Amino acid sequence: MRLLAALNVVVFLSFLATVLLIAGEARSEAPACTGSDMLAELAREDPATAEKIEREAAATPNGKGLLWKLEREGRAPSFLFGTMHMTDPRVTSLPPAAKAAYEASATVVIETTDVLDQAAMMAALMKKPELTMFTGDTTLTSLLSPEDIKVVDAGLAARGIPLAAVAKMKPWMLSAMVALPPCEMARKSEGAPVLDVKLAEEAEASGKTLAGLETAEEQLQAMASLPMDFHIKGLVETLKLGDRMDDVVETMIALYRRGDTGMFWPLFRAVLPSGSEDQAGYAAFEETIVTSRNRTMAEKAEPLLAEGNAFVAVGALHLPGPEGLVELFRKAGYRATAVE
């Protein structure tokens, strides 16, 4: 079950740019970041398991590298870059090769340009309140068991959030508020941009063409289409895991900076095991949040890549795997080469 908690963090940091931006929590001060790299801990305490994870990650297609050069005869090369939807300065500074590719590009592509105007995005989403809030008589507590109500109430209270104040909020919105470290949420509430927004704003300022592959509504609809029970379990397990979630985030940052996108899932499956009863939920998650959106992104990116000299920046976990964007672009006729 604990893997469901890690899944919440993975969703917001590497798959969905929108939810993190609209579920911010106001804070009066920025606390220090905590958290430990779980892979480093595992290498010290259980080197055999760490080596097994390394082998599994190495077998993941395109599981190493954040920046990929996309080439096709008759077209100027473009680049695909994996981001994390974070404000952490270790993430928002592009590596040298990515920075050079970004600066030389004529077109910058991100998941959704809706994130550049949060007021307009919120106004649009208000027309679809069912994507973020329960309607009618349904509340979060009406869907929780008595035991889970206690867990959620205590977990939210520890974060200064009264359960009654958020009882109408959909669980994926609450998960975004509680899954990320206080330091990350504080930077966001103070106006620090996540990497994707920073890239988009700089692109506009420098006169580059800016394009998006999805809308905020489409991203939230993907979340809303997953079984409610899956979201409820994820929220409860996130709150149960407590400060260990900070370790999940720190581990993701460490792997991200190494470009080890193929190691996220093998590691989390090893250190945060889940029960067999969650497999149907994971299958739905993978198809809805990852595979289906990868296909849509690849299709919508094709006309932009056809023009050449594009810099496509999407969540890093959209890149690896047999149905990842790197492989999908190869199937579309591009030569994809890892740069860094």
191-204 pLDDT, tens digit per residue, is 888 899 899 999 99
144 near 232, Cβ under 8 Å? Answer: yes
75-118 pLDDT, tens digit per residue, is 999 999 999 988 899 999 999 999 999 999 999 999 999 888 87
pTM: 0.91
CA 205 to chain CA mean position, Å: 25
For the chain, percent helix, then strand, then coil, each to nearest 5?
60, 10, 30
pLDDT-derived band at 281 (thresholds 50, 70, 90) equals low
pLDDT at res. 237: 87
- Cα separation, 262 vs 57, in Å, equals 5
- Cα separation, 97 vs 75, in Å, equals 20
pLDDT at res. 277: 52
